[in-house]
Structure 1
């Protein structure tokens, strides 16, 4: 019988190496939803993990917009593909008052990146990223679970970039934001509670904590 060809020998080597490598380095016990976003990607760059947060964080940072100002469609990041998908159309007769998205390379207790509401003049297309400046924190409980939101302004919008703290915003603007989040899930029979807005210093702490949690839970586990 003829000896195996070089091609057949070469084709078997990678499988053997993969099996040997997997036995020596078992996969870390990461949450499946997070793990799926780190592997089997269908895009070249994943906005959660590959986009830098920026050197000015936690004060000024990059953020990815999922939902444009004035939209009734709830878009969100698909963690497996890195693409923006349609989650649902809002059940209530409301629209997002400002651009809404997430901060890359952050992680919160709900296994999602940190949410951010960005005040600026114009709606932004889902999937775009921009520089934002944190001015406050909106503590929120969504169906019994913590789901805080960073309130920020676009750092490159001349109408908003001068704001440094949430107390500088008109009271009506804060009431508008609060009312949206209190109402947008009511017709889905889901309860949302919004507490008093907190100053910029608390937003910085929340962002830094989410950066540290991301570094500890994701980066360090992947190095094992």
Structure 2
């Protein structure tokens, strides 16, 4: 008999059969959302984090890779990149934004994505990497394999969002992007976050 329960999207789903080349992604937010949602760590359901107060709307699908966690291993990669003010990872699953040409209207779903790079973001002394990926099989973005292949306008649009989405008008920046890295470095971050998860939760 099949158990009648819903798998927790963080703990109950694998990171993927071909990780880090192709990863499972749990999507929390889509570009049309004017509310920031995030998964409730206890129940696994999506919850309202906060309304978006300004015109800063996520420019791509956004979520996390299951069974990842950003702690010491992710922090060490940030330090290796030259960030000497980092004390920890952000103690959350690894964030990922997925580029797709399709209009997906709501989060709370799983998809497969191909990591092509990322941003080494430092937020108040914490390593808060943002992996950039493309939806597997997408007819417009699915052929990209490294962030260097993307139009610079696309990269800058993503960077601008992550550098400003927490800021109120006239406030100083709360975070910075230490570096923009390609697919191989993104895979290193993913594997580091999986080791952090295993160290924290086992498995």
Give the TM-score band, short-chain normalised.
Answer: 0.7 to 0.9
Runs of 4+ in 1 over 6 A off after TM superposition: none
Residues 62-115 of structure 1: per-residue CA shift (max 9 Å, x gap): 100000123231100100110000100122321100000000011112221110
Q: TM-score, normalised by structure 2?
A: 0.82
Residue pairs, 1:153-192, within 5 angstroms: 153-187=134-168, 189=171, 191-192=174-175
Which residue of 198, 202, 210 maps to 2:193? Answer: 210
Larger radius of gyration: 1
Aligned-pair CA distance for 1:211: 1.0
Residue pairs, 1:1-224, within 5 angstroms: 44-109=6-71, 110-124=90-104, 125-187=106-168, 189=171, 191-219=174-202
Aligned-pair CA distance for 1:118: 0.5
Task: Between 58-67 and 178-187, report the one with greater CA deviation.
Answer: 178-187
Q: TM-score, normalised by structure 1?
A: 0.75
SS of corresponding position for 1:173: helix
Select the structure that is richer in strand: 2
What is the alpha-carbon distance in structure 2 between the residues aligned to residue 134 and residue 146 of structure 1?
Answer: 18
Aligned-pair CA distance for 1:123: 4.0
SS of corresponding position for 2:98: strand
Aligned-pair CA distance for 1:55: 1.2
What is the alpha-carbon distance in structure 1 between the residues aligned to residue 198 and residue 109 of structure 2?
Answer: 24
Select the structure that is richer in helix: 1
What is the alpha-carbon distance in structure 2 between the residues aligned to residue 194 and residue 107 of structure 1?
Answer: 19
The count of corresponding residues between Structure 1 and Structure 2 is 178
